[in-house]
Amino acid sequence: MTETDPVLRALAHPVRLKMLNLMWPGPLSAAELARELGISHALASQHLRRLDAVGLVELAEERIRRGGRERRYMTVHGSPLSDQREGAPLLAETLAHSLRERAGRRAEGGEGVTVDAELWVDPRTWEDIRVRLAEIAAELHDAARSPHTPDTVPVGISMMAFPVQDATPPER
């Protein structure tokens, strides 16, 4: 693998992406993340250290618990994903893994939206849609609550929208 951006490399693991989602609405400790994800405390700590090393999470609080110190981390808000170009295939593979896992847990009878498209639109339409998609994603993130908060439902969303190069060979 080439010299990929360390942030992108940290994001390129489905467990770390899931951790970022879980810590978005509020701080969680490695122990809480381990329980939520069904992984060992050691593995959760390892992933958390990797996210912390690249600045994707920050220490939100430290408290004494059972005679020890519990550090709780929170996702740093903002999206380092949107402008990733060099590592887009790596990121797409991680998102695809997350999507496959979530699709397998789709709620019976749960309504959703599924779209796959490669369309030709004018630049003004693309810019308007791109901004609106970013606003919808921000609105969803703003509405996020801690896992298992009463009167909430878990929702999955994976989205990449970007201009692509024309795959048509030039005419001779």
pLDDT, tens digit (0-9, with 9 covering 90-100), for 110-155: 899 989 898 999 999 999 999 999 999 989 999 999 999 999 999 9
Please choose, from the candidates 144, 159, 149, 5, the residue with its C-alpha nearest in 3D space to the C-alpha of residue 75.
144
Q: Alpha-carbon distance 13 to 34, whole Å?
A: 15
82: confidence class by pLDDT, cuts 50, 70, 90: low
Tens of pLDDT along 143-171?
999 999 999 999 998 888 889 888 887 77
40: confidence class by pLDDT, cuts 50, 70, 90: very high
Strand pairing partners for 68?
65
